[in-house]
Amino acid sequence: MINLATVQLRTTATDKVGATRTRTTPTFIVDTTAPTAIAFTGNTNRTNQDVTATGTSTDVLAGLWTTGMLYKTTYAFGADCAGGTTTVPVFTSDGYQTGYACIYDRAGNIRTGQQGYKIDKTAPIISSMTSTKSANAIFFENTTVTDVPSGIASYLWAKIS
């Protein structure tokens, strides 16, 4: 199997009396290599913003198919790009979101990829605030702080009056 090569084929035929004819094909590229790995844009760490999951890829031999990148948001692509759409997914909901992308090159080679995004637009929850005062004016404060899906990065106590 020839791969990654510029090829020109030649056929020569000779009849029984010695007459010869030769034909050559135009030069063409044999490409059995898939496009480069799909790189996604958008913040893949935790973010409190909407995420647009645009994928990019290149193919130096055959070039990318003119339909461009195809996307899905429900499950990964199989052996082909079936079920994909050219609409770039925009994730707006809290939680772990996954974008899937698929691209063909002009030789029919396929590359698929996926990228996860952690979106958290919900502020932390402060609950169970209870205070007790001892006889010497020392206060004890018990508080529960939670945040899903990101978790708590920090919290601060401050006297306001």
pLDDT tens, 89-143?
Answer: 999 999 889 999 999 998 889 999 999 999 999 888 887 776 766 666 666 677 7
pLDDT at 20: 94
Task: Report cis status (omega within 30 of 0) of the bond before 149.
Answer: yes
pLDDT tens, 18-61?
Answer: 999 999 988 877 888 889 999 998 777 788 999 999 999 999 88
pLDDT at 24: 92
pLDDT at 148: 75
pLDDT at 155: 75
Res 1 pLDDT > 70: no
Between residues 156 and 88, the one the model is more confident about: 88
Both structure tokens of 21: 């004819």
Amino acid at the residue 133: K
Both structure tokens of 27: 């030069």
Residue that has been written with the tokens 């996604």 in this structure: 40
Share of residues in the chain with pLDDT > 90 (%): 36
Is 0.85 surpassed by the pTM of this model?
no
In which band, very low, low, confident or very high, does the pLDDT at 145 lie, cut at 50, 70 and 90? confident
- The residues that bridge with 118 in the sheet, in sequence order, are 46, 96
CA 15 to chain CA centroid, nearest Å: 58
CATH 2.60.40.10 describes domain 33-119: yes
Amino acid at the residue 102: C
